Chain A
């Protein structure tokens, strides 16, 4: 048997082998393999674990470890598919998937690329009629239909989580890293759409025009200005051009 064949067989056994029929050494490897994956998911989804309970979380982890073998050289990649497993297991509880998705996004932002945020003081010098907004690379948008963000906050503060609510209207969770801390904020569909336009390379002037076309002149300009202020204060903007 070639080394390639041996390693393929060994890998397949780790995933699906019958431990009861195996030599003690093989059982050690299989146990190490599973324990590492379980620990990885427990570490990445502490709030989700607290929300659904130990037993349910363990069942989800076992399901995930069986369904999704690790493929990346770093265990940081392994949690990425876990929200999909939760969506499969909890189709009627969307807050579970959203909570796990939020935890995942916060973790990814924590180790995402560094960027120098545009300081509010410097923003005064920018010609906003010509400016094209540039966003920090850790910015992530996730769809939100429940109050999973409020559940996350309560669990983080070790308070009693609120009951599940379906949000009125479309929303999104904006996730990013400010300095060294991951942050998130619930935004409505209008701000989400404006962010998508701005991230696509639209100039701020054209973004204002697009918002005005939908909201009317006074409301549109006020909204665009308000969002810009928030994005600056949140540290979401990085390098401006044309200003």
Chain B
């Protein structure tokens, strides 16, 4: 059971651009939506998603599955996501290598996991349960993190490699997250890319970040910086067909600016000699 591939260039759909996407066809190969925004009973969000789906292939990207929760997954969440998956028939279903839920507490954030054998076993169990519940394989995204655990027993790339081997899941490589982590934890991002299991990557996120108090923060509030473009160009030759997208969540500019960034992604990919849509 291996995730299917899709080669193309897309955008994360955000509210300021809804009207643009309902107008004349926007030049993207796919759009990605935040799953939870549409895991509602009905009304405008669901209707909007149906309209978008009629125009574009859609990827579902989640932020609340809590794949790393030591208490397992929320069945109600999985049921709602399954219903959305059946309606949308998405290109991909993804979420993060992180946790947010414990003991009745649910943080609206992507909290970090130690890279231990215990965590690997638990995340693998959760991914298997999620894939069983959804009836399809998932993509797991490398998160931005702001602290590292002394108890780590393996590198992040070893953790991801083992997770893919155990579950058959694919990877969503967030190049900006990698850059942020490399800066925050002082490791070589290219060494990470040389070692991570590139064959499992099906989707790429490109975004911007900002400088915090001694740390880079994954803010998604500005254009993709040259450093992230550089890593994107570096990794592309190692990847198979892949869906690349620009992810902007704050200070969202007019659509044409994001489309211009997407053109840059196309150029980088063309120069790297990789398969474009």
Query: Are B108 and A11 in contact, CB atoms less than 8 angstroms apart?
Result: no
Query: 16 A-B pairs, CB-CB below 8 angstroms?
Result: A3-B70, A4-B102, A6-B114, A7-B70, A7-B99, A10-B102, A26-B147, A28-B213, A70-B106, A73-B106, A74-B39, A111-B40, A111-B42, A111-B44, A112-B42, A137-B41
On whether the beta carbons of B107 and A113 are closer than 8 Å, the reply is: no
| A10, A37, A113, A180: the one within 8 Å of B41 (CB) | A113
CB within 8 Å of A: which of B85-109? 99-109
The interface residues of chain A lying within 8 Å CB-to-CB of B113 are: 3
Q: Which residue of B lies closest to A40 (CB)?
A: B108
| Chain B residues near A4 (CB-CB < 8 A) | 70-71, 102
> B212 — which chain A residues lie within 8 A by C-beta?
24, 28
Cβ-defined contact, B41 with A73, below 8 A:
no
Give me 4 other A-B pairs in contact (C-beta within 8 A), A37-B108, A73-B36, A76-B40 excluded: A25-B215, A28-B217, A29-B146, A111-B40
Of residues 63 through 77 on chain B, the ones whose CB sits less than 8 Å from some CB of chain A are: 64, 66, 69-71, 74, 76-77
B43 touches A111 (CB 8 A): yes
Q: Are A70 and B42 in contact (CB under 8 A)?
A: no
Report A-chain residues with C-beta under 8 Å of the C-beta of B46: 114
Q: Is the CB of B108 within 8 A of A24?
A: no
Any B CB within 8 A of the CB of A52: no
A2, A70, A114: the one within 8 Å of B105 (CB) = A70
| B24 interface residue (CB < 8 Å to A) | no
A7 to B145, CA, bound (A): 15
A 49-72 to B, binary, CB cutoff 8 A, 1 in contact else 0: 000000000000000000001111
Partner of B109, one of A23, A25, A29, A71: A29
Pairwise interchain contact B118-A3, C-beta atoms closer than 8 A: yes
Are A33 and B43 interface neighbours, CB within 8 A? no
The secondary structure that dominates the A interface is helix
State which residues 17-46 of A face B: CB under 8 Å.
23-29, 32-33, 36-37, 40
Tell me which of B44, B47, B77 contacts A73 (CB under 8 A).
B77
**In the complex, what distance in Å separates the CA atom of A157 from the CA atom of B264?**
43
Query: 1/0 per residue B25-51: CB within 8 Å of A?
Result: 000000000001001111111110000
Nearest Cβ in chain A — how far from B167, in angstroms? 18
Chain B nearest CB: distance from A122 CB in Å? 22
Given A26-B147, A27-B213: A15 and B114 interface contact (C-beta under 8 Å): no
Please report the C-alpha to C-alpha distance between residue A33 and residue B114 in the assembled complex, in whole angstroms. Answer: 19
Query: Which A residues from 188 to 218 make CB contacts under 8 A with B?
Result: none
A173 interface residue (CB < 8 Å to B): no
